[in-house]
Amino acid sequence: MIDFRTQPDQYKHWKLSFDGPVATLTMDVDENGGLVDGYELKLNSYDLGVDIELYDITQRLRFEHPEVGCVMMTSGKDRVFCAGANIKMLGTSSHAWKVNFCKFTNETRNGIEDASEISDQKYLCVINGVAAGGGYELALAADHIMLVDDGASSVSLPEVPLLAVLPGTGGLTRVVDKRHVRRDHADYFCTLAEGIRGKRAVDWKLVDEVVPRSKLEETAAARARELAAATNRPTDARGIELTPLDIDFSGDAVKYGTLDVEIDRDNYVATVTLKAPDEAPSADLAAIHDQGAAYWPLAFARDLDNFIIHMRTNEPEISTWVFKSVGDGANVAAADRALMDNAGDWLVREIIHYLKRTLKRLDVSSRSVITLVEPGSAFSGTFFEFVLAADRSYMLDGNLEGSNLPPATIRLTGMNFGHLPMCNGLSRMETRFLDESSRVEDAKAETGNDLDAEAAEELGLVTFIPDDIDWDDEVRIAIEERASFSTDALTGMEASLRFAGPETLETKIFGRLSAWQNWIFQRPNAVGDEGALKLYGTGQKANFNKERV
């Protein structure tokens, strides 16, 4: 099992230092520190373990270091910045592992960009050597790229000529959509294995500036101070510690503080029970800061985040996630109110956007999502996002025979109307009612009201509302039917249906990852016995099937 929990004293591959508002993040990968046996992480190449640490660092920089306005990324190796994803690791990994690895690294780099946009924590990448493939893709996530001008250092995306695959971490999209590199220049760049250096790299917008090696340290420090000085980070604030998560892995059950998971391997289902807080979380700003990582909305975001990445990596055959909830939905609504009322505070801002990023991670997971709203449920506000995020939802109309619980209700809060946008830049409510703004307004008018099944169906907020006679059969059939379908077909279908509306950098990256890279990673030109990914480094030449498809 891959454990995604880590902390600074466990890092093998990164070094972090601080100088006032500037943090320096140095990539110094331990060659023998691979997550599994069978490869060496030479030339600052990376595997999932390296990126687990990077993700942890980016989270801690946001929550534990509010004083940091600029993060300078560089390499601790001589003449090499990063050689990208380790090729032997990719060549020996399963298809599912490769795709999940690319998805996680994409989300981590999206998180860097989110830190810049939302938290005003800017990233400066100082390329002090060769940046190839994923190494350059890491640089592309930064706000400013500086390349040493020494006649040898370069940037490249060599996957097409060398490996017969694509840059898996959004490289193609970021080159043309983010850095606005001309298409003809991009075409040449992405088919040139040795990359581009010096003045041409600047002229083609692949980097922002080149600096002689003799002036690199001085110039990088000055640029970092400039970026830090221009941010709105609270220089006098005290961060909170992201304490270790307490998770109980017990056979087919996983228990977190704010949610429980039960796995049914016969039906390939994980049932996730979201637990509302026992009491209304404090709305007092001082109390929120004092509680830190124990504050319920933050604790829930962290538990949910770990659940998603744990299940995607360690339980690939559990293809349907069924969400339920228990407790008092009023306490979830109170948590939402506390966050929205204090949204101007730096820590509360980080909590809201952590919830946003984690729900985005749910959206892009290649798992079927079914949400069940039953008596005793707590689908209010943030929890109601799981109804909106579901591929389909069922809400019981009335009571279950023999139950003394009141009929199920749902409650909308302000969090459902823009605070937690999807990758397409729209709320899940807006995506649900695309080009039907009146339906969104009708739903918004019911904010704060407890809505029964008939009202929820009338507003278009749930898919089906069976009564107690049909409930068990309809839910069972939906889950069993899902298990009978091709998981490949479901992955393609769900990814195509979930992101209606505007195309954004994120939707392009994940759409292409789900389609092109998913397909190319299985083609013999890449992974066959004579494929480029398999033969790389052996001295043998790949044998390509020349047919276009």
What would the pLDDT profile of 130-159 be if each residue is shown by its tens digit? 999 999 999 999 999 999 999 999 999 999
pTM of the complete model: 0.97
Average pLDDT over residues 422-427: 97
pLDDT of amino acid 400 = 87
Mean pLDDT (whole number) for 93-106:
93
User: DSSP label at 545?
Assistant: -
Q: Taking 80 as the threshold, does the pLDDT of residue 227 lie above it? A: yes
Could you give the percent of the chain with pLDDT greater than 70? 100
In a domain, 342, yes or no: yes
Number of structural domains (the chain) is 2
Res. 437 pLDDT band, cuts 50 70 90:
very high
Q: Which of 67, 113, 159, 385 does the annotation list as catalytic?
A: 159
Query: Does one domain contain both 37 and 85?
Result: yes
Cα distances (angstroms) measured from residue 518 to each of 94, 174, 435, 499, 543: 12, 19, 31, 18, 21
176 and 119 in a common domain? yes
Statement to judge: residues 315 and 447 lie in one domain: yes
Percent of the chain scoring above 90 in pLDDT: 93
Does a structural domain hold residue 539? no
Residue for token digits 């000055």? Answer: 222
Q: Report yes or no on 80 lying in a domain.
A: yes
Domain hosting 485: range is: 248-493
Give the mean model confidence (pLDDT) for residues 215-233: 97
Out of 67, 113, 137, 315, which one is annotated catalytic? 137
Domain membership of residue 21 (yes or no) is yes
Q: Which residues of 504-537 are buried (b: 16+ CB within 10 A; e: fewer)?
A: bbbbbbbbbbbeebbebbebebbbbeebbbbbbe
Nearest Cα neighbor of 213 from 299, 124, 149, 138 is: 149
pLDDT at site 402: 84
- Whether 310 and 429 map to the same domain: the answer is yes
Same domain, 331 and 182: no
Whether the per-residue pLDDT at 183 is higher than 90: the answer is yes
Q: What is the mean pLDDT of residues 419-433?
A: 97
Which of residues 448, 467, 493 is at a domain's end? Answer: 493
Q: Does 186 score more than 90 pLDDT?
A: yes
Residues 366 and 219 in one domain: no
pLDDT of 514 above 80: no
- Residue 284 sits in a domain whose CATH number is 3.90.226.10
- In a domain, residue 368? The reply is yes
User: Are 225 and 259 found together in one domain?
Assistant: no
Q: Which among 477, 493, 509 is the end of a domain?
A: 493
pLDDT of amino acid 347: 98
Whether residues 218 and 337 fall in one domain:
no
Read off the pLDDT band of 511 (50, 70, 90): confident
Q: Is 481 a catalytic residue?
A: no
221 lies in the same domain as 355 = no
* Confidence band, pLDDT 50/70/90 cuts, at residue 513: confident
**Three-state DSSP class for residue 368:** strand
Asked if pLDDT for residue 432 goes beyond 90, the answer is: yes
Mean pLDDT of 302-315: 98
Our answer to whether residue 279 is catalytic in this structure is no
- 363 and 322 in a common domain: yes
Note whether 255 and 213 are same-domain residues.
no
Closest CA to 439 of 421, 456, 459: 459
Last residue of a domain, one of 202, 229, 256: 229
Element (H, E) at 260: strand 259-264
Mean pLDDT of the chain: 96
Give me the pLDDT at residue 535, please: 92
In this structure, are 24 and 96 located in the same domain?
yes
Residue-wise pLDDT for 340-382, tens only, equals: 999 999 999 999 999 999 999 999 999 999 999 999 999 999 9
pLDDT of residue 291: 98
534 inside domain: no
- Exposed/middle/buried for residue 345 (C-beta within 10 Å: 0-12, 13-18, 19+): middle
Inside any domain, residue 515: no
Q: How far is residue 405's CA from residue 373's CA, in Å, rounded to a whole number? A: 13
